[in-house]
Structure 1
Amino acid sequence: MSAADLLYSDTEEALRDSVRRLLADRCPPDAVIGVYDQAPRDFAPVWKALAVDLGVAGLLVPEELGGAGATAREAAVVLEELGRAVAPVPFLTSAVLATLALLRAGDTDFVGELAEGDRTATLVVPLSTEPGAAMTSVLATAGGLTGAVSSVAGALEADLLIVPALGPHGVELHAVDRNAQGVTVTPVPSLDMTRPLADLTFGATPSSLVSAAAADAVTDALRCGAALLSAEQFGVASWCFETTLAYVKDRRQFGRAIGSYQAIKHRLADLWLEVGSACSAARYAADTWARADDDADIAAAVAQSYCGEVAVHAAEECIQLHGGIGMTWEYPAHLYLKRAKSSQLAFGTGYRHRARLAELIDLPVAPAKTARS
């Protein structure tokens, strides 16, 4: 295996610059706040620009299938920028999770459609599903798909539903048109409305069988998705730190910039160290997946157990150190706290990822504490 490279290449920096400029122009914070309005703004044009004009929808799709043939490293760069903008677009759910599940299952048709950017998809599992856990309650029978799945991210905007279902010989993977007979998509309240959730039910729903043995494909997609989610969490933390640092340099109280006070300096110094460490963890996770390194699962567990907590802490510090303005609805800090907290619970909690890490490195599990009599 080649050595890890945590530095960004010129190609990755060019991709970052393109995505950042597009989001700054078409997805500014004041527009994103509108997702909480009664008549939220439609961000489909933003996704269309990203997916088609920049080609991010097909980043992970091989060139022979119509994609860019890129790796997890490039996908991580895109997710960093989407995290910095808390952009309400389906890159993670469509271009990562659904696409990877289809690719690992051997599909060559649907991934081409997704790579073109004309259609979006989502992997129909609860957002909180842990990689390797029981992944579906949908049954595949001769009469179609039957069952229900709760809290699915990306279902509201998806054209295609990629559904793991229990068949006669194990977990199968099916593709279902969102408007197919028997499909019901019900929006549910979500802490983070920039990544809305929905409950799905299937009643004798016709589908296209992608693979009759897809358990490993779905698990692999979820593990890679968890690794790449850490890049988005790093992006959230970066915005929070940089914005807060700029604010405390400018905000003055008692004749001095509040950033000159020692207590503020210490808090920001600690946060700077945490965000830098999150960058390293997220980059290493993406790099190991890109190289199919033996450490990929370990790196994903490390990144997810750490980056989620850093993103939440950075968002909390952002709100607190901004004082009164940080608490207002008009200021975007609350968007980052909501995204950080919701993503911290996605693909399993930090505790579950630390437990997974302990298993991977053969670390003995501490015995459970018992209450004293």
Structure 2
Amino acid sequence: MTVEPAQTNLLYTEEEEALRSAVRSLLADRCDAATVLARTESEQPHDRELWKMLAEGMGLAGLLVPESHGGQGATHREAAVVLEELGRTVAPVPFLTSAVIATETLLACPDDAAELLAALASGRTVAVLAVPFATAPGGTRAPVRYVGGALHGEVTGVADAAVADILLVPTAEGLFAAETGRDGVTVTPRTSLDRTRPLAAVTFDGAPARRLAAGADTPVRLGLRAGAGLLASEQLGIAEWCLAQTVRYTKERHQFNRPVGSFQALKHRLAKSWLDVVNTRAAARHAADALATGSDEPNLAASVAQAYAAPVAVRAAEEALQLHGGIGMTWEHPVHLYLKRAKADSIGLGTAGQHKEALAELVALPAP
């Protein structure tokens, strides 16, 4: 008797739609474009109050943390829905870096990480993996060394390090946790293209740390894989917002007594963007489901999603900028925030080219 494999259902469940509605409602009240823009021009681009509402009030910081450790015990599918909504508002909160990448890294560690997982689930602690945001899964390096019972070295381009309480530091000697408030740890903000997810350089000069795992490669790879796969959902949210706002604007903007959206050339461009968004949704949902259930190869699904979603988000933002005409070029219009986030995401956690190379190896079709 042959057993047919269960079919993957990529449609959103009622629970996922309810989660989307709750997150979207909060973001509509607390994360409008003017607020985000004002934060990017300030010395504190992170919205700590919004993060507190999302993390503690809604329990989203512990979405991927098992209930036995004080979390929600949800899956990557629910996390993907949250990231779609965060992408729609380019919310300046560390959900991807802390609630996804750092949490997934800790879940791959021994029981020594249980206490830290509970702290993250509470929403009162933010953890960040101390690797450059551009690092692709499997492409980790260890510029930091654990010598004489302390950490030494520097890591640049670490996303959300400025708001982190705990840094997860991969070294050749293992994976360590270091508190940012302790002596020997210096976090220096750097000028970055995307101010809604600022970068920083982290310097360790004899910093005390606690070993979480004897080997760092596997936990870090799994954390970055989850981040890359779910980053596609954030990119989907960016592309959806850009398309929706562009369609709305081209219906309202008139030239020659006609809506500019009625011009055939613009219709074709918008139709192409719509097809890109639809296909991105399929790739992003597949990656989230593969990470959640393991029903398909998660490495393959994550690379497919990133290889496709990254350029789509950039194109959608570029189209939005151009088709908004003169108003799109102004600082007051929020479209530039989405273009910057899309550009930064396109090199975050591996470029589309790096994921295509990884994909070629996974399917045994290496480039000539």
For the superposition of Structure 1 and Structure 2, which TM-score range results when normalised by the shorter chain? Answer: over 0.9
Q: Aligned-pair RMSD on alpha carbons?
A: 1.1
Residue in 2 that maps onto 1:352: 354
Q: Given the alignment, which residue of 112, 123, 132 partners 2:129?
A: 123
Identify the range of structure 1 (41-50 vs 25-34) with the bigger mean alpha-carbon deviation.
Answer: 41-50
Hey, what's the Cα distance between the residues in 2 that align with 1:147 and 1:183?
A: 10
- Aligned partner of residue 105 in structure 1, secondary structure: coil
Residue in 2 that maps onto 1:204: 206
Residue in 1 that maps onto 2:30: 26
How big is the shift at 1:275? 0.5
Q: Given the alignment, which residue of 291, 294, 309 partners 1:292?
A: 294
Asked whether 1:111 is paired with 2:114, we answer: no
**Contact residue 84 and residue 235 of structure 1 kept, 8 A:** yes
Hey, what's the Cα distance between the residues in 2 that align with 1:25 and 1:160?
A: 29
Residue in 2 that maps onto 1:4: 8
How big is the shift at 1:324? 0.3
Alignment of 1:62-101 (within 5 A): 62-101=66-105
**Contact residue 108 and residue 219 of structure 2 kept, 8 A:** yes
Hey, what's the Cα distance between the residues in 2 that align with 1:38 and 1:117?
A: 24
Code of the residue aligned with 1:126 in structure 2: it is P
Residue in 2 that maps onto 1:362: 364
* Number of residue-to-residue matches in the alignment: 362
How big is the shift at 1:181? 1.3
Residue in 1 that maps onto 2:310: 308
Hey, what's the Cα distance between the residues in 1 that align with 2:208 and 2:329?
A: 48
Residue in 2 that maps onto 1:370: none
Asked whether 1:148 is paired with 2:150, we answer: no
After superposition, the C-alpha distances for 1:83-139 in whole angstroms (9 at most, x for unaligned) are 000000000011011111111112211010010001111000000111111332110
Code of the residue aligned with 1:150 in structure 2: it is T
Code of the residue aligned with 1:81 in structure 2: it is E
Asked whether 1:46 is paired with 2:50, we answer: yes
Q: Provide closer, same or farther for how the CA distance between residues 135 and 3 of structure 1 changes in structure 2, counting only shifts above 3 A.
A: farther
Q: Which stretches in structure 2 are left out of the alignment for 5+ residues? A: none
Code of the residue aligned with 1:36 in structure 2: it is T
Code of the residue aligned with 1:146 in structure 2: it is H
- Aligned partner of residue 109 in structure 1, secondary structure: helix
**Contact residue 50 and residue 57 of structure 1 kept, 8 A:** yes
**Contact residue 58 and residue 115 of structure 1 kept, 8 A:** yes
Q: Provide closer, same or farther for how the CA distance between residues 39 and 218 of structure 1 changes in structure 2, counting only shifts above 3 A.
A: closer
Hey, what's the Cα distance between the residues in 1 that align with 2:45 and 2:260?
A: 36
- Aligned partner of residue 6 in structure 2, secondary structure: coil
**Contact residue 39 and residue 47 of structure 2 kept, 8 A:** no
Q: Which stretches in structure 1 are left out of the alignment for 5+ residues? A: 367-373
Code of the residue aligned with 1:78 in structure 2: it is V
- Aligned partner of residue 150 in structure 1, secondary structure: strand
After superposition, the C-alpha distances for 1:239-262 in whole angstroms (9 at most, x for unaligned) are 000010111111111100000110
Identify the range of structure 1 (127-136 vs 224-233) with the bigger mean alpha-carbon deviation.
Answer: 127-136
Q: Given the alignment, which residue of 325, 332, 339 partners 2:327?
A: 325
Residue in 2 that maps onto 1:233: 235
Paired-residue identity, %? 52
How big is the shift at 1:180? 1.1
Code of the residue aligned with 1:62 in structure 2: it is P
Hey, what's the Cα distance between the residues in 2 that align with 1:160 and 1:141?
A: 20
**Contact residue 4 and residue 288 of structure 1 kept, 8 A:** no
TM-score, length basis structure 2 = 0.96
Hey, what's the Cα distance between the residues in 2 that align with 1:19 and 1:251?
A: 31
Code of the residue aligned with 2:283 in structure 1: it is A
How big is the shift at 1:39? 4.5
Hey, what's the Cα distance between the residues in 2 that align with 1:40 and 1:291?
A: 38
How big is the shift at 1:41? 6.1
Hey, what's the Cα distance between the residues in 1 that align with 2:65 and 2:42?
A: 37
After superposition, the C-alpha distances for 1:14-67 in whole angstroms (9 at most, x for unaligned) are 000010010110010000011332455661010000001111000000000000
* Runs of 4+ residues over 3 Å off in structure 1: 38-42
Q: Provide closer, same or farther for how the CA distance between residues 40 and 149 of structure 1 changes in structure 2, counting only shifts above 3 A.
A: closer
Q: Given the alignment, which residue of 273, 276, 282 partners 2:275?
A: 273
**Contact residue 153 and residue 196 of structure 1 kept, 8 A:** yes
How big is the shift at 1:337? 0.1
Hey, what's the Cα distance between the residues in 2 that align with 1:8 and 1:294?
A: 18
Q: Provide closer, same or farther for how the CA distance between residues 174 and 39 of structure 1 changes in structure 2, counting only shifts above 3 A.
A: closer
Residue in 2 that maps onto 1:369: none
Hey, what's the Cα distance between the residues in 2 that align with 1:364 and 1:219?
A: 21
How big is the shift at 1:293? 2.8
After superposition, the C-alpha distances for 1:317-355 in whole angstroms (9 at most, x for unaligned) are 001000000000000000000000000001111111001
**Contact residue 88 and residue 237 of structure 2 kept, 8 A:** yes
**Contact residue 34 and residue 40 of structure 1 kept, 8 A:** no
TM-score, length basis structure 1 = 0.95
Code of the residue aligned with 2:73 in structure 1: it is G
Asked whether 1:214 is paired with 2:216, we answer: yes
